Amino acid sequence: MIDPLSQWISRSSGLHGPVMLMYHAITPGREVPAWPWAVSAARFDAQLDALLSAGWHTVTQSEMLAGGPALQPRSVAITFDDGYADNLYAMESLRSRGMRGTWFIASGSIGRTPQWTEEGQPRGRMLDNGELRAMQQMGIEIGAHSVSHRRLTLLDTDELRAEVSDSRAMLEDLLGQPVSSFAYPYGEYDERCTEAVRSAGYASACTTRTGWAMRDGNPYTLRRLTVFNTDTASTLIRKVSLGSHEIASSTLLKQIGRNLAGRVSARHGKAE
């Protein structure tokens, strides 16, 4: 269920171009996960249903960059970082609704436990070779997320090149198709990183900066909106409608009040 304020905000959404959403993990049931970057299965399903009911159309990152008929006024690219095995639930939820997405895979951990550790991250293995191939056959785009999920800005030139190039090569060898999309681990990048991604043959890369996806006009610094464990269907609709994380009701009502006051003032001035 979407609250009235979110429904009202949604009516004018899609005017600023496509948006991208960043997910990481899905947990079973309805309980809110402890890890900020995980979403319960119940809330994920509710969020997908809210997007559909609000008229949003899903595209992959590559389709978003290509434009054309696939890119409708309300287009959203749903992305998942890392490649946790629990993402299979998300893939099936998308498929059952005729929706699509892009998965960014840390290629050095395929089918294994992650090579990096973060407090609260999902336990167990990552998606394996067969699962990634099956996802691709179902219309899911598979992109790269480096080899070992290291902070690229801290690497020397040779290490940076290997993390970016080898990830693409490994995934292309696995999938038998070109891999053209990349996501910077931890969202960290600099000019050296964007150049390494471009030189490795990727067509685009996304960050964790918020805002409309193509706000910067640079395919190697695409913006995404993070979906957190506390996000509901209503807060998600606010995020995609406003291209922002600043979605608290108090903030929005103040902004609406200022907008209305401005319109009244402008009309009064014309009347005089």
pTM of the model: 0.92
Indicate whether 267 pLDDT > 70.
Answer: no
**Which among 208, 165, 164 has a CA at the least distance from the CA of 188?**
208
pLDDT tens sequence across 88-137: 999 999 999 999 999 999 999 999 999 999 999 999 999 999 999 999 99
pLDDT tens sequence across 153-188: 999 999 999 999 999 999 999 999 999 999 999 999
Dump the DSSP string for 58-78.
E--HHHHHH-GGG--SSEEEE
Token pair, residue 229, equals: 């464990």
Give the separation between CA 29 and CA 100, rounded to whole angstroms: 22
pLDDT tens sequence across 205-261: 999 999 999 999 999 999 999 999 999 999 999 999 999 998 887 767 765 665 555
Mean pLDDT of the chain: 93
Q: Which domains does the chain have, with CATH numbers?
A: 4-244 (3.20.20.370)
